[in-house]
Amino acid sequence: MNIIKSTLLLLSLTILACKSKTDSEIRLEKSERQLTGLRTLSMKANNIPRSVDKNGAIRWIETPYDWTEGFWPGTCWMIYERTKDEKWKEAAITMQKIFKHHKNLTNDHDLGFIFNNSYGKAYRITGENEYKQVMIDAANSLITRFNKNVGCIQSWDVVGNWQAERGWKFPVIIDNMMNLELLFEVSNITGDSIYRNIAITHANTTMRNHFRPDGSSYHVLDYNPETGEVVSKVTAQGYADESAWSRGQAWGLYAYTMCYRYTKDKKYLDFAEKIANFILNHPNYPEDGVPYWDFNAPNIPNEPRDASSGAIIASALLELSNYTGNKYLHNATHILNSLSGDAYTAKPRENGNFILMHSVGSLPHGNEINVPLNYADYYYIEALTRLKEKGL
């Protein structure tokens, strides 16, 4: 009888403990279980997972440099910070060492993505000066791409690349706004305003030139590097030059919210809200809140969804809600509810052990369509973490 009572008591306490957990905590634990398999595989391969191939096998980063390489160690750092499980810390450190030497590269703009999401988290969590120096070195490399005439950091190099076929001289993509966070952070930790000033100049130039009156953005602007004149406004990964590529809108929303965090300049907050309102009120914004890959794709509703855009938007809206009296909290939780359901969350040990299904890398290039992406999972984990901080 005592055994039965003890068993019932234990069962009751277990049920009570489960009920006391928030939705975000339950989803974070579920995500950790899924990614544990990916962690094991990545440590064995000593490589960074990016997606899956057409056969469903993990697609590892194979090129010497990849703009997505910082997302996986960044994800490991986020899980370690929550769980204090040393295996996640070990994985984060091991994975980011793979690309540490890229801090000195000056031929690409994505150093912010790569190093702020990995070494930036490492420094914030551990306080180790080694990680701080890597951030500073990467920021110094990034600002070499700043052109005073244009007022922007150049995105892709055009010499010898496919971008040259477009006739571009100084392309700047909306994605580049995301790299400014590294500059703001390094300015804070060094006290040197040069990084912050470049970030603000880039943000202001992009605000002035990249956006349409309705709050949507172009993907690519090409500038005359001598005069700073805008030569063309086009797309590379969207449906058309005048369309609203979904992940581009997500990058803009996230980045201007972030700019407000660092500067407290209300024009950035107002602009982030303008972008949010464009997204949330668009006639092609789907009921579940997970965007089609382009808001103007011609065959909606028979177009691929992009879970990565949904995760980025959700995370951005959660931060934006902090500054607007929780104005966008409902929208963010609605997206996360959708992403956390069976339509987008993979079953255990499926989907290459990634969390989210149905993301789109670049449909015009025929690349990574309807697959998991490491940055989709990164922003999903970040969004859930932000929701957890709200006690939800």
Active site residue 53: no
Whole-model pTM: value is: 0.94
* Known catalytic membership, residue 23: no
Whole-number pLDDT of residue 160: 62
Question: What tens digit of pLDDT does each residue of 198-224 get?
Answer: 999 999 999 999 999 999 999 999 999
pLDDT recorded at residue 227: 98
- pLDDT given at position 13: 45
Given the residues 66, 108, 137, 175, select the one marked as catalytic: 175
Domains (ranges, CATH) in the chain?
21-389 (1.50.10.10)
Q: How far apart are CA 311 and CA 178, in angstroms?
A: 15
How many residues are present in the chain? 392
Residues 108, 110, 294, 306: which is the catalytic one?
110
Q: For residue range 111-128, what is the model confidence (pLDDT) as tens digits?
A: 999 999 999 999 999 999
- The helix, strand and coil proportions of the chain, stated in percent and rounded to the nearest 5, come to 55, 10, 35
Peptide bond into 49 cis (omega under 30): no
Q: What are phi and psi of 195, to 5 degrees?
A: -70, -45
- pLDDT tens digits along 230-245: 999 999 999 999 999 9
Q: What does the DSSP assignment read for 127-189? A: --HHHHHHHHHHHHHHGGGEETTTTEE--S--TTSGGGGGT-SSEEEGGGGGGHHHHHHHHHH
